[in-house]
Structure 1
Amino acid sequence: MSNQGCEIKSIREDLIAEVTKKMSKDSTYHDISNLFKLLGDYNRIRILCALSYQELCVCELSLLLDMSQSAISHQLRLLRHKDIVKFRKENKQTFYSLQNDEIISIIRKANEYGF
């Protein structure tokens, strides 16, 4: 059976220093991890994909995705809190759209890779 670790302990300190300089702060990796946790929800992905095609209100999203309005509102609140979606009010309706289209490119790229 082959061991996947190093057989000898030889540290290339210059290489470690070079990579350390290039890496981001730990807080950046926490933020990225939290983004992927947020995107790890089936319904949030569906909401984002729907909003990538058209600005929609909660009642329209509810019908489109066969979810309750309260469930949609809850998911939108989480996405709004992370500045992934934005909203605007018009009379008594609230319309939602993507804050930044880059989030959809991540989702579409994952779809291309067959995840």
Structure 2
Amino acid sequence: MDSHSHDSEKCEHTHSTCDYVSDQKLNEYLVNDDIIYDATQIFDALSDFTRFQILGALVNGEKSVTELQEMLSVSQSATSHQLRLLRDRGLVNAKRDGRKVIYSLADEHVTTLIRVGLAHAAHLLGH
């Protein structure tokens, strides 16, 4: 067994089922091409390092483009471009506050995706 294998009998993590769909719903979703397509678009957005960092930063609360740019040491235009893609994929919301645009995660599903993704990566790495 390599370090990236997962033996569910040895997993010590406790998982909440509140955000998971029932087997019946899962089977319905898996034959719905629109849902599958949107899910792949979400995971595609999550696969970019900078976008994942942006989402991770927003888990702790809303932030302006400038705050995100400074946290990530990425240019303003690159940050705005990634935020636009995340907004288009339904992962973040934007609201105007005077001259600033403030971003937040779209909902608790996004928070769960980030938390579970990080927990699984840490688990695979033995942390």
What TM-score bracket applies, with the shorter chain setting the length? Answer: 0.7 to 0.9
Q: How far does the alpha carbon of each residue in 1:15-45 deviate from its partner, in whole angstroms, 9 at most, with x for none? A: xxxxxx7542223222211211111111111
Contact 2:55 2:114 in 1 (8 A): no
The whole-number CA distance in structure 1 between the counterparts of 2:79 and 2:56 is 13
Q: Secondary structure at the match of 1:86?
A: strand
Equivalence for 1:34: 41
Measure how far apart 1:107 and its partner are: 2.0
SS in 1 for 2:77: helix
Give 1:108's aligned residue.
115
Name the structure 2 match of 1:57. 64
Residue 85 of structure 1: aligned partner: 92
Alignment length (residue pairs): 95
Alpha-carbon separation, structure 1, partners of 2:102 and 2:52 = 18
Equivalent pair of 1:52/1:101 in contact (CA under 8 Å): no
Match of 1:4?
Answer: none
Q: CA deviation at 1:60?
A: 0.8
Partner-residue secondary structure (3-state), 1:83: coil
**Alignment RMSD (CA, Å):** 1.6
What runs of 5+ residues in structure 1 fail to find an aligned partner? 1-20
Answer whether contact 1:52 1:98 (CA < 8 A) is retained.
yes
Q: Distance in 1 between matches of 2:32 and 2:97?
A: 41
TM-score by length of 2: 0.68
Q: Which has the higher contact order (CA 8 A, sep 6+)?
A: 2
Report whether the alignment pairs 1:25 with 2:32: yes
Give the Cα separation in 1 of the matches to 2:77 and 2:97. Answer: 19
What stretches of structure 1 move > 4 A for 4+ residues in a row? none
> Which protein has the larger Cα radius of gyration, Structure 1 or Structure 2?
1
Identical counterparts, % of pairs: 35
Residue in 2 aligned with 1:18? none
Give distance in 2, aligned partners of 1:99 and 1:88: 11
Matched, 1:97 2:104: yes
Counterpart of 2:37, as a letter, is: H
